Every structure is written in structure tokens, then in C-alpha cells.
Structure 1
Amino acid sequence: MTAPSRYARGKALFDALVELPDAATQWQALQAADADDALRNDVWALLQAHRETTRIGSPIAAVSHQWSTTPEPLQPGDRLGPWRLCSDLGEGGMGRVMRAERADGAYEQQVAVKLLRSRGDAGSLAHLTRERQILAGLRHPHIARLFDGGSTPGGQPYLVMELVDGEPIDRWCAQQAAPLTTRLALLDQVCDAVAHAHARLVVHCDIKPSNVLVDAEGQARLLDFGIARLTDGDTPDAHPALTPAYASPEQLAGAAPGTASDIYSLGRLLQVLTHGHEPPGLRGRALQAIIHKALAAEPGERYDSVGVMRADLQRLLHDRPVHAWPAGPGRRGYVLALAARRQWPAWLAAAGAVAMAAAFTAGLAQQRDRARSAEQAALQQREHARREAEAAQQISRFVIRLFEGADSENGALRAADTPVRLLLDRGHAQLQRELQDRPAQRARLLDVLGTVYENIGQLDAAARAYREAIALEAAAGPERRTQEAALLYKLAFTLNRQGHYQAAAAAAESCLALREQLADTTATDLADAHNAAGMTLGNLGRLAAARQHLERALALRRAQFGDTHTQVAQLHNNLALWALMAGEPVEAERQAREAVAIGRALPALPGLHHRRLTVLAQALMALDRLDEAGLLLQEAAAMARERYGADATYLHRVLRETGELQARRGQWAAAVVTYREALAAAEQGGDTGNPVHALTLSRMAVALAGMGDARAAEAAHRQALAALKDAGDPLGEAEAQAAYAAWLQRQGRAAEARPLRQAAAATRERLLPAGHPLRATSPSNAP
């Protein structure tokens, strides 16, 4: 085999080093490379030239004035390197665009070839080559790729770009009669693409509808970075082509554009896309505030970055206060009004409790009347009915007083502005003082409180309420065993969602034991108990027993409800989680898709659907199908925010998996931001101090390491391990140990890494079945 030429060796070495983050890292890697001093010097010179400020002030569009003659027009059928020109696509200020196809037989591909006007001298073409190299590095799903380029035999420069078959974004939205949410989702994709370019010091400079196409899949694609310039470039010698209707004031004045110029153009695009579709009320005013900030005349008064503008658009969609809303007396009312709107599910849950209590009371009254009219009820039955009716009435009075107490005359907030959590905490404290002589009523009220706490994602408070109710029911004697079993079931799942697996398993096994003893246990009760036992035992690594319980629960529920029921969907979802723990991602996807399909067929019961979507996304990530998983996680996060707001434990779980997806893609900075948002949601929702929270910390540590922040990474690793110690989650602790060991190994601290790695391996070998991938591997996404 012929040895590689000096040019080939130098090019390969340059390609390997050019993507490293900074000059110091490049120099270190170059010195360690297998090359002689002369080759090292040549490659270093190339790297320095690559880092030089590029004078894109003399961009592709402005090079034409240096070219003196017009080349002979190319025709369909002509060849440019490996490309054969096919047909004209259009012509504009930059030049002529033609459809082309790969003609060298290497593979089939269609592209768009942009023929720039006239021919350039050697200096201009060299400048174009440097710009082309930078622009080719923009790799993003919503940016049309630049594949190739060069000059024609007549000296005319050309670019070979990805061919996007689509419609301009404004025309597509009009043709599809797209709702506001779709228009904002497309703009969000454009913002993501522009942020990607800005992070690589490239400004687009000409964002407008004709440069944003929507393809057949409904995805936005940003075109034509041909007039882009580097953000740290020198003052241009000639001004780039621009579109006055979308250009920023500083561009129109002839100043060098920067990232703020693209933010202005995005504001104009947002204004065009939403014109005539402005939502009424607060959301419409918030939208106008975002547009106004993006279109500020002074660059310093616009958004600090495209990412900040995207965050405001997300807050708009989820009824969160936007940062663009002007400060002043009106902002507090705006924030409070949005809080009341977001919390309507929890108010509805509390109102539902009142309605159920009233219906229960009415039913008992009817039953009592029938007993009296027939004179067949015994004294004990009548007394029981009386006590139950009194308990139901007490529940109704309690909930009504809870809401009435939020509208006092001593300066408290009115009910519409009072956080539901504050009302529930007030009611819980009230129960500590009242009904000391009526344990049955107290237990029932605590059950109601726990359910509402859980419905708004406050799991820690729910678990406390359930525990208090269980203690009261257990002290009441054998006649309250059925109620005790029902509460144990609720407590088991609440603890399981918090990651308190040992305590959850104990509650589940107690529930199952009671259900098997009680004569009045129904098939539904028994299925619930088996389900709780399966989920909690699985999280402890007892996978064989867990599967038996879950399959038994599924059989019972199918026999009772059929194949399409929310209870059946829950079991498919739990079996998917079991399959993920067992290292069977194909089975996990099958079960999760069953759950999602049933959930989508039951639109009236959306409460748990974000969890099903999240589990399906986890299965797809395990199969390395990241794009599909990402779409599901976006949908799940939107549903969780809509239902619970930004401060609930359920949002924490969705965001944790989103961060994991970003880490799998190597998007370390984005993953850290997402993990921090997840931790904030967990803190606000009271979901801290448990293994689930600790594992989020551990995974954030991996992302921090990927960013190169060693100090923060080690602190997060240590914090996660401290939280997991003796927490009752051996597999979670093993994951955190393996992640920390991998980081220590990369830091050259092998002696510290060894015991952690050995402990993680021992736990996995003890709890996981033979052949499970985690028995022999460390986290696959560690940098």
C-alpha cells in the first residue's frame, strides 16, 4: 500500500485539530501527533490562518465589483467537478441558482448550485474559500448545508448547497391556515438555527421569509448564509446585500451587523408571521412586547441573545410571564393573572373533590331513604350510613372553608390569586388542630388532601398526608382495613415516583397482603396491588418478581376493562419501564407504544399522557433513535407545563430525560441548562432529597464535565453520591458511582476511580440479569 502523501497527512492532521475548542488545546494535540517538525509547523500555520478574523465585510455578494468580465453562461448538462447542472431554480441579487445532481457515480444526490456573478481575482477567490470553509461548518437540522464550492472554468465562483424542496415560511403558513402555535413553533426552529450559527461566530445578515423554507415534513430550513460575516470580523470594505424590510437600522445605516441585527430580523419575521393571528388578552399583549423588544432601534435594547428571545416565546406559549413585558405597576397584575390561569387544573381538582363528596353524600342519603322506607336496615347499618354522610359533609365543608379562607379582610390575597399549594398547606395545618375526636373524618380529609397534592405535582406533601391517614386507619381496627389498603397503594406509588424505593416496596407489599386477606377485595383492588408491587420491586432490581406482578395486574385489568382503557395503558407503560430496567429496549418500545396508542385514543383522560410519552422517548433513546425521542420529549414537556406549571415534579422527570437526550448528542451546554431547569422544577415541587433528584445531579455532572467545567462537575458528582448513600436505590447509586469513576479516570485519578467502579459493577452484577448492557459498561454519553 502506498504511504499517504505529505499533503494528505497534513490535511488529515488539520481536520483532526480544527474542531478543538481553543488554540492551547490544538497546540497540545499537535505536539502529541505523529509528525515531523516541518509538518507540525505547516499545520500550525494553517490553524492560525483558520482562526484569523475573516473580512466578510467583503462578502460573496460584494466580490463582484472586483471582476471585470462576464463568463459564458452555463447551461443544463454542463459539469462542475462531480456535479451535472440540470435546470434553473431562480435568479436573485446574489446570482443564478440551478438544480444539479451528482454525476461521478459515487452516490446519488441532488443539490442546489448558486453561481455567483462574474469572476474574481486570486485574492477574492481565496477569501471566498475561507468564508466557505467557515460556513460549511454550520451543521444543524434547520440550516441548509453548504456541501462544496469552487470556481467554474471561466473563473466564476459557485457554491453547492443542500436542495430544500419547500415553500417560503409566510406562504406556507398562509396556505396551511396555520394556527399561532404552529407559526411560533416554526419560528422557534429558525431561532434555534440562528443561535447555532451565532455560537460559531457567524451572523446570517439576511433573515427573511424567502430565506426560510418549510419542507414536506413541516420543518423550517434556513437558507443562504452566503452574505454572513463573522461576529468578530473587521469593518467591511463594502456593504453586503440586504433586504431593507428586514434589515436592522444599523445595517441600513451602513454599520457592521452583529448578532443583534439577526435578532431584529427575527422580530420582523415574527411580526409578519403573527399578523392577523394575534391572540386576545394578556397573551396578545405579551406577544407584542416580545416583538417590540426584538425590534428596538438601539441594538443594546434588544434581547441579549437569540436564546433569550426563544425562552420568552416559550414562556408566552405556556402562560409564563415574558421578560419583555415592561416593568412597572402593571407587571405585578400581569404575573398574578397568569398564575391564576396556569393553576386552573389544580382548582378543578379541588372542585372535583367537592363535587365527588357532594355526590357521595347524595348517594348515601338516597340509600338511607330507601332503608327507612323499606324498614329493613338494621341499627348498625343506619349508624354507619350516618357516619359516612357526616364524613362526606365534613369534607365538603372543609374544602369550601379552605377556599373561603383565601379571601379575608386582613390583607391576604384573593382566592383567584392564592397559590393552590398555600391553600392546601393551610388546610393541612387546620386538620392538625381540628377533628381530634373524629379519626375517620380526619383520615378521609387527609386522603383528599393527599390526592390534590399529588394532582399538582407536590409529591412530598402528598406522601405526608397519606402517611397520617394510614396511621389513623390502622389505629381504628379491622373494620378500616379496606381504607388502609387503598391508602397504602397511593403511598406506594407516591414514594416510588420520589425514588424512595425501599419504603415504596414496603408499602406495596403491605397493600398486597391486606388485599389478599380481605373478603371485599375486587379485581380492580387486586390489580392495583400487583401493579404497585411490580413497579417498586423492579426499582430495587428484583426484576423477575416485578415482571410476574405486572403481568398479573395486566391480565386482571384486561379481563375487567378490555384492551383499550386508561388502566390497561398504565400497565403497558409500567411494563415498558420494566423492560428498560431489564435492558430490553425493543420490548420497552413495544409496550410504550401500546400505552401511547391507548392514551391518544382517550383524549378525555390526558393527565398521565406526558408520562407515557416520556417512557416511549426513553425506549427510543435506548435504541439510539434520538430524533424521534426528541419530538416526543418536546410534546411531553409542553403537556407537563400546561397541566402542572413550571414548578412540579412531573416536569422535573421530563426535563431530566430531555437533558439526557442533549447529552447523548454532545450538546453539553444545552444539557446543563436543561438539567438546571429540571432541578429548579424539582425544588419548587418539593421533589428534592431523594434518589430521583440525586440522579439528575449526577447526570448534570456528566454534562458539566463535557463542557470542561471540572470543578463544578466534581461538586455535582459528590453531591449526587452523598444524596444516594443509603437512599434505597442501589441501581441509581451504581449509575452515579460509574459516572463519577469515569470522570475521575479521565482526570488521571485512577486510584480514586477504582473502588467506585468496582462497587458499581458489584451492584449491577448482583441485581441485573446476565447479558444486561449495564453489567459491563459505564455511561455511554460521558465525554
Structure 2
Amino acid sequence: MSNSTFQRVRHLFDILVELTPAQRLADLEARSDLDAPTRQLLHQLLQLDADTASLTAAPALVAAHRAARDWIGYRVGAYAITAKLGEGGMGSVFRAQRVVGNIDQQVAIKIAHRELLNESSLARLRLERQVLALLQHPNIAAMYDLGELDDGTPYIVMEYVQALPLPDYVAHNGTGLRERLQLFLQLCDAVAYAHRNLIVHRDIKPANVLVTDTGQPKLLDFGIAKPLQHRLGSVEIEQTHAAQRYFSLRNVAPEQLRGETVTVTCDVYGLGTVLYELLCGHPLYDLEGLNLTEVEQRISQDDPPPPSRRAAASNAALLPWQRTLAPDLDAIALFALRRDPQARYASVDALAADLHRYLHGYPVAARQGSRLYHAGRFLRRHRVALATSALFVAVIAVAGTLWLRQYISAQAERERAENVTHIIIDALAAVQPARARDQEISAREVFEQVGSIALSSSLDNQPATRTQLAAAVARIYLQLGLPREALTLIERIEGDIPQASDKVRFELETARAQAQLELGRVWQVRAALQTHAETARTAPERLQWRLLEAGVHINRGEFDQALALLQTVAAADSGAAQMTRSAARRLLPQVLLRLGRRDEAQASARELLSEHRSLYGDTHPELLATLNDVLSIMLDLDNYADAAGLAAETMTMSRHLYGENSLIYTKSLSKHATALAELGQLDRALDEARSSLQKIRALRGENAPVTASYHYYLALILERRGDSNAALEHFAAAARIGEASMSEHSDALYQIRFKLAAAQLQHDQPAAAGKSIDSALAMAERYPLVDKPDLGAVAQLIRALADNRLQPSAAYAAAVEHSTATAQAEARGLLARRTLAALVPTPRPDTVAAPR
């Protein structure tokens, strides 16, 4: 028997053996392409399978499934299993909690079914472990550890991804087209990375892609991955060819279904099925009610309809962008899904490049060959220049009354459109906070008066006017501290953006990235930087993208990289980029402070404030922004006298520019309360802190990250006034909201957990205090920049005190004594010193550091 015949027989047996005896016979007889010897051989193999059924893996599977329930609470290395996550052909996946090292960490552990282990399955599991160890990519679930149980059963400890499957994520969040494509491009980057490491996934499907709440996709399940080399680490690849039928029929490439050689184009096809579903909201094929023969014929012979047609034929409500799905996207998806592997994109990078071409308005490779199409894309990119040229030719070529009448009519129409634009832009300028000195403007009023115009149907035939107006409104939203509203507005005019001028398109894309950054969607800003930063046309545009890149580094705690970028932007010699340079200079003191360069931070802040007072006068949004930044620096430097004066000034200015119900005024009020509390004016500080919390709830809602911070500020003041019960309630509220909405590298969340632990300890809740401080210590271990040495020393004291109260012993008492001495020597910051004083009321005078 030739190797190709053997592979064909083996493939058919793998399919038929899954059916009931009656279904096996019917399916086998329906296959008209089989010769008599092959048909007879399959009959014999199936009969042997039936005769030896009691010796196959079926009973073992039952036992394995039964045993899986007994894993809960079982200790695997440093982890204890807490729940079952899923079941696979070769093993079960569990969620586990780390119980060693006082670290709060959840992981996923894949444990093989011991009853199913043989040479082939062991080889597959070893290969999966080797693949995961090799692939270290932010969009691939990472492997942390591996090992074997006492009975030799192998296991893998992997990253636990608390996220939604890709289809559920985009449906739940109402994700727009551009964001879907950016998610998909991140997935392409992960698969291309695997290919560069000579690994083919072979089972790419939407269910194997999870998306975190921060919008980061994670590719899972390399259980049937295929290395494109003979050896990977210590694993011989030839040992892993068995059990290759573990794939999803909805996403399997035709050549994979036929048992043919698998290459990187197999993953191109899998990505094509994912893109198809992202575009139209439906799987590639509807296989409901089909038998396996019909399934194989459908996949091997039927071409899927374009995503746009599939979406239009759906009974479900379509998203706005699905109603006019671009032909280019149809072509890209179908090109990736061609049945012949040689006719698809040659690589994942080629697929991603075509999507980037689409996003930038260039012709896509999937539609090459049509001169008319290329001409259309050229016209779209250069419509202004070509329209001007065409008009010039027409002016020369067309003469007479008819030409004159048409020309005058066109000119009149253009003038009317320009007049509409000027009128609306002038209206915007009239209500901008910088000029509205005699009236209060709320975010709602701006939206009602201006935002509605940008989205009104009266501008349906004037996309250029709509985008220009939307860019102005989005800038005002950002100035008012309303990034979510700005982002919503931009997404609602998404279809008009490609037709906007280069200048307006740049303003919209940078406003979008700024809003995403303020909302913590760092991955989206990084994707925008990759898409747009390199294609910036002018020096001011490049500076604006560099400023956004610095913001990404700040958000990720990468302050050295942020400082280098900010210094470059601030020193740029470009008069047209004055606002961008000012924004960079406002961020510089904050980054210097985070790097421990306190004197430089204060000097930089004061210098900028002095310049802006001279430049902008008494009342200007730019001066207010600078005042707020300098105010934050003074609070961080414990300079509360200056901070109180600056806060009072910002309250007056923000009330005048924006009104008392604005986010900017609320932030100024909260900072003023903090400064007053440090100056001993606790009653007034408490009133202002409560008022600011009430305002922020109305503006941002109860579950916003900023609301968590306001609970924390109020708790600190209540603690100073001696109302420890109320303080504990607000610390707990801050922690509850922060843990659900803040990033794990947020120093604000670290301090909230730190203070909550101290308050719980003071209320004789050592178990709760231990859990809270362990969360803070785990953050500091993973993200060292969130911690400060003095806070870390006090945190270790809280941990020791909690242990000693839960289980008093000489060892724990010694740990308390040692931690107390260390904390007293290290506690220099105000927060650390006050917390230490509450925990250890009478420290030795010679060991307590003097306040700065």
C-alpha cells in the first residue's frame, strides 16, 4: 500500500470510527469514490474496532471524566486546583490558585488523562509543552511551568486568561469594524511569530482566541501544533503524527481534512475563517444536520459566499458598518479561504499587509488584475488633485454657454458647502471654553448644541463637512475630560473618515488615540501608532504621535522610555507644534517625579507655569491644564501650602471656564480637599471631599476608576479625623471598584490595597488584611514601579502582624519585631510614616526618619 493510500484510509477510518455502527455503514456506502479493495479494508478495520471495543479508550474516558471531578483541591506543585475549566481529547484543564510564596496568582493547569497515555499521546503532550515554552508573545497564552505528578502523569502550568471568546467579546462590546480589524491584526502577529519559529498552529478558530477586558487577544491551544522541523527541543517530531483529527470542522482547511501535507497556508485559512466571522457575524459554513460525508463535500467543493452577502442575508440586526461592507474586505477574506493552498496568501504577513493596505486606502493584493479597480483606488486617494486637474482640462476643453452655466453652478455649490462649514466652525469657536467667559458650559450642553449637528442627517451628502465638524467636537470633548464621548462620536462617523482631508483625518485619528489612551485601551493606541506614526506627513504630525507613544510608555510604567520621548518632543523646533510641545512639557515633571528626580520635577513644573502665565494671561484652558499638572506635582512633593493656593486658583478658573458640574472643576475640588486636610483644616476638607465624590459619581458613574480614587481620598481624610469605621468602608469601596476597573500595574490600585490592609488590621480583621496586602505585594513583585521602598517595608510589617494575630508564635513575633525595625528605618514618605504610626503607635524616636 502506498503512503498516500494509507493516509487516505487512515483519515477515513478516523472519521467513520466516531459514528454509530448504522451510520458507519450508511456513510461508507455513500462514498462512491472508493474502490472495492479500499472499501473492504475499511469494513475490516471497523469490524475490528467493534470487536475490541471493550479494550479501547472508551472505558478509560469514562474513568478519566469521573476522576476529573476528584481533582478539585488537589495540590499540583505550588498550586491548588480550584475549578475545572474544560475537557479535551487528551486531558483536562483546571483553574488553580498559587498557595506558596504569599503571592496571589491564578493559573491554568492542563493535566493529561492518565488512562489514555501511550507513546503517541505522550509525544503530543511533550510537543505542546515544548511549543509553549518556545513561543513567548504577548498575544499567545504563556507557559509558566511543567512537570509530572507522582504517578508520572505530565502537566503544564499556563497563563490563566480571564477573558471572553472572540465572538462573545465583539458582540458584548459592540466592537466596530476598525477595532475588529485591529484585534485580528494582533492575532495575525501572534500566528506570524509562531511561523517564524517554525510552528503551525493547525486549529485556529474563534473559540481558541480569548480577548481580555483590556482588549488584548490571546491565542490558545497549541495541542495539535505542527513544527516545520524534524526536532523541537528534546522532542522528535516524527513521534507526533498520531491523533491529528482533533480539529474543528467549521475551520479546518481542505488539505488538512484530506490528510495532506500541512504548511503555513493552513493557518492562513484558519485566520480567514476568523476574519470571515468577524465581518459577517456567522461561521464560515452552516454544517447543522449534515453527515460527515456531506460536511467533507461542503468544505472541499463549495465556495463560501462573500461576508457582505452573508451579513445581508442574515435575519439578525446588522451593525451600521455591516450594511455597506467594503468589497475589498470580501476579497481579502475569500482570498485567504481559497481551497487550493497555493492560491491563498503565501504567508500570514501577506494577509496582514493586505489588511493594512485596506486601512490606508491602497489597492489590496486580493483584487489585483483589474485596471478599473486600481484606477478607482488611485482616484480615491488623490481625488482632490485629480478633481482639480479634471476641472482644469474641462475649463480648457469645454466652451460656450453650457460649460459656463455648469461651471458657475459647481462654484456656487462649493461656496455653499464652504459657507456651511465656516458657519458651524464659527459656532463651535463661540462655545469653546476659552471664549465662553460669561456662561457655564456643561458637556451635555456642548453635545446637544454641537454634537447633534455633526451627526444630523442634514449633512449626509456632505461627509467632508461632517468630519471637519466631528474633529472639532471631539477636541472639545477631550478638553472637557470626556474621552468616551469623543470616541463614540468618532466611531459614529467612521464611514466618512476615508473621504476627509489629510488634515482632518489626522485630527480624528489622533483624537481617537488620545481618547483610547485616557480610557486605558493601550493596545488600541499601540495599534494606531503602528498604523499611522510611520506615515505621518509633517514634523508636527510626527511629534503628536510621539507624544501619544510617550503616553503609552507612561501607562505601562516605562518611564525611562517616556522621558526620552517627552524630551525630544519638548525640544522640537517647530512653531506649528506649540500645543504638542506644551503638552509634553506638562508631562515631563510627572515622569521625572516617578523616576525619583524630585528637584528636577519641581523646577520643571515651576518654570513651565511661569512661562504659561506670561503667555496666556489670567484665564485660558492651556494655563488651567498647566496649573492642574503643577498642582499634582506639589501634592506628590508634600508641598501642601503651595498646593492649596494652586488648587484654589484652578477651582476659580475651571468654574469660570467649565462650570461647577464639570469634571475639571471636580478634580480641582478634590485636590483642594487633600491639601486642606494636610494643612489641618479637616472639617472643610471633609465637606469638599464628599462633594467631589458625589460629583464624580454623577459624571463618571459608580464603577469608574476615577471614582475608586475619590473614595480613597475621602477615606484618608476620614481616617485623619478619627472616623475609622467610615474610612474602612470607603477604602473597601475603592478596592472593590479599583480591582474591577484599574490595571494591575496601577500605583493607585497598589496604594488602595495597601491602605485597605492597614485599616482592616486596625479593625482586627487579620485574615482580610493578609489577603489585601498579599494582593499589593504581588503587584509590586510583578510591576516594581508601582511600589516605593518605604511602602514596601510597611507592607511587609502588615503581613507579619496579620500572620502573628492569626497564629501567634515566637517565630511570627520575631518577624514582627524585625519588620517593625525595618519599616521605622525606611519610612520616609508621608503615607508610609502615618500608616506606620497607626500600626506601631510608639516607635523609637531614634529610628523614625524625619519628614521631608
TM-score by length of 1: 0.41
